[in-house]
Amino acid sequence: MLIKILFDENIFTMLKSKLLLGTPLLALLVALSACAGVPVRGTVGGQTIETRVDSEAARYYLANYLAGKRNNPALDARIDQVYQTMDGQVPGRTELKELSDEFSVDFAALYMADQIARVPANRRFRRS
Render each residue's pLDDT in the chain as its tens digit; 128 residues: 444 444 444 444 544 444 444 455 445 444 444 567 999 999 998 889 999 999 999 999 999 999 999 999 999 999 999 999 999 899 999 999 999 999 999 999 999 999 999 888 776 655 55
Please check whether residues 86 and 122 belong to one and the same domain: yes
Please check whether residues 3 and 14 belong to one and the same domain: yes
Nearest to 108 by CA among 99, 116, 98, 117: 99
- C-alpha distance from residue 3 to each of 30, 31, 76 (Å): 8, 9, 28
pTM over 0.85: no
Helix (H, G, I), strand (E, B) or coil at 8: coil
Please check whether residues 61 and 17 belong to one and the same domain: no
Task: Report the alpha-carbon distance of residue 88 to residue 85 in Å, rounded.
Answer: 9
Kindly provide the residue ranges of all beta strands, DSSP E only, lying in the chain, ordered along the sequence: 38-44, 47-53
- Domain containing 60 equals 38-127
Please check whether residues 26 and 85 belong to one and the same domain: no
Total domains, the chain: 2
